[in-house]
Amino acid sequence: MGTIYAIANQKGGVGKTTTAVNVAACVAEAGYPTLLVDLDAQCNATVALGLAKDLRPNAYDCLAGESTLVDAAHPTAVERLAIVPAIPDLAAAGMELPRVAGSELRLRSALGDVRERFAFTILDCPPSLGPVTVNALVAADRVIVPVQTEYFALEGLAGLLDTLSLIQRELNPRLTVAGMILTMHDGRTRLARDVERELREHFPALVFDTVIPRNVRLGEAPSFGRPVIHHDPHCAGSDAYFELAREVAARG
């Protein structure tokens, strides 16, 4: 049976999409059928895998109750990796969903037989704790929280963990935190080292051993429409995301 991971942090630009795309590519490369679901109206994950922002069916259709994830899965250039693409209209879902009672269950209802078809399903969330992210957290088994190693990293983290507990209690008792992944880490700066130490002290069991370094290849791979392991398989970013994928799989 497959596992569903949400990649979430309401803070913008912390490495959610980079983590979603590259962990998905690494587990697919390791031999597992994998589905990436782009839940962000920015369509960054969709474009990062070289797909257009106007495909049907898409993630909006799934949230509207008009498709299952399996039916909306499109193949990518990466073997064993499929994607449910986003469209810019997903921005409207954030306003439409709250008007309908029970709408936080839409994505869960759209799972269909995704667990039978895919060993890993990875949900890339938008930078908010709005209705679309709530849908992802209700549908997921585990959450991975990317945390950028910078001064404001800890700010907002308490709020995120509170929201996760609330969803656990009220809507999805099976939800657990797989871990926090430190991203865009620059080991040469004292600030990055301090933030890392503080996070490991606060959340000793949660922070993954792997740290994702700031890496030019990781930043430029999306502009070529491919994951970093296809862009430059031997760069530090590829090594780090392979290591993270191993750690995620090992935590089960």
Where does this chain bind Mg ion (CB under 5 A)? Answer: 16-17, 44
Q: How far is the CB of 57 from Mg ion (least distance, A)?
A: 21
Eight-state DSSP code of residue 86: -
How far is it, in rounded angstroms, from Cα 59 to Cα 41? 10
Residue 227 binds to ligand ATP (criterion: CB under 6 A):
no
- For the chain, the residue count is 252
212 contact choice in ligand ATP, Mg ion, none (CB below 5 to 8 Å, kind-dependent) = ligand ATP
Number of chain positions touching ligand ATP (CB under 6 A): 19
Asked whether the beta carbons of 203 and 164 are under 8 A apart, the reply is: no
Residue 94 binds to ligand ATP (criterion: CB under 6 A):
no
What is Dmax (Cα atoms) for the chain?
50
Residue 187 binds to ligand ATP (criterion: CB under 6 A):
no
CA-derived radius of gyration, the chain: 17
212, 229, 244, 248: which one binds ligand ATP (CB under 6 A): 212
How far is it, in rounded angstroms, from Cα 99 to Cα 95? 8
CA torsion sign for 169, 176, 164, 28 is negative
Residue 88 binds to ligand ATP (criterion: CB under 6 A):
no
184, 211, 245, 248: which one binds ligand ATP (CB under 6 A): 184
Applying CB under 6 A, the residues found at the interface with ligand ATP are 12-18, 40, 42, 44, 127, 183-184, 212, 214-215, 218-219, 222
